[in-house]
Amino acid sequence: MVTGPITSLTNSRIKAVVKLRKRRQRDATGTFIVEGYRELLRLIESGSSPQTLFVSHELFIGSNEPELVARCRNAGSEIIEVAADPFRKASYRDRPEGLLAIVDQFDTSLEQIPLEADPLVLVVESIEKPGNLGTMLRTAEAAGLSGVIVADPTTDPFNPNVVRASIGTLFAVPLAITDSSTAIAHLRTAGVNIVATTPDTPLPHHQADLTGPTAIVIGSEQYGLSTDWLEGADTKVMIPMPGSVDSLNAAMAAGIVVFEAVRQRF
């Protein structure tokens, strides 16, 4: 189905997109915004497709966009042509690429994460910054993790800044959202070794065995891990750091411990 083109800045469909920047509106509609070629390509490659795809040909920067639009159309997405100015209003980016979709939120229950055959899971507790969560999802995808558990999130993973920072890996990595006590019980029942990262422990991360079923747990930027995780952990590890602990960003700390586990499993 093709509608449009939209030429008015006050078009109701454009306004509806802008509203989805608010979490309340995302929760109420069960949808979120996915913008950009790379992000939408990963969505399609995950076997999903947008509800609605807003397209502004004038803003295309590459030559592959029409093919992606065709794939969405074939998958049943509503395609809406939009003039450059209203598209810029709907866009969340400084330099819009002419592709922006409304997508159904997906299932983020713990069952999404496969826990067979020595799984390697990243757990992030109460992460605050969308950019950090997005970066962690990218790192999880690169490391081929079994999945990412977002425990007690203060930023929701459907935030447009998470989607952007994740460059769409949000659609490639199994993702669960839950509270910490449920996550701990779930991992324990599955026999997964819970490895909490904290500066307040003597064991270097590289001296811990990260080869069996393992969940690496990273705390919030500001407060680190809660006592739930520190007391629920089987192992506590720290990253040896010749410089200042507070210099290491939470996403970087996650990447360093995750890739140490990848090294041990090499």
**Looking at beta carbons only, is 15 or 93 nearer to a second copy?**
93
Q: Measuring CA to CA, which residue among 238, 246, 244 is closest to residue 203?
A: 238
**Looking at beta carbons only, is 18 or 239 nearer to a second copy?**
239
**Looking at beta carbons only, is 45 or 107 nearer to a second copy?**
45
- Minimal distance, residue 255 CB to a second copy, in Å: 5
- Minimal distance, residue 137 CB to a second copy, in Å: 9
Q: Binding residues for a second copy, per CB under 8 A?
A: 135, 138-145, 167, 169, 172, 204, 206, 239-245, 247-249, 251-252, 255-256, 259-260, 262-263, 266
Cα 131 to chain centroid distance, Å, stands at 9
Max distance between CA atoms of the chain, in angstroms, equals: 62
- Minimal distance, residue 45 CB to a second copy, in Å: 11
Query: What are the phi and psi torsion angles at 248 (to 5°)?
Result: -85, 120
Dist CA 140 CA 255 (whole Å)? 8
Looking at residue 165, its amino acid is A
Q: Measuring CA to CA, which residue among 7, 23, 254, 69 is closest to residue 150?
A: 254
Scored b (16 or more CB within 10 A) or e, 97-108 reads bbbbbbbeebeb
**Looking at beta carbons only, is 14 or 251 nearer to a second copy?**
251
Is residue 91 within 8 A of residue 188, CB to CB? The reply is: no
**Looking at beta carbons only, is 184 or 258 nearer to a second copy?**
258
- Minimal distance, residue 145 CB to a second copy, in Å: 8
- Minimal distance, residue 219 CB to a second copy, in Å: 16
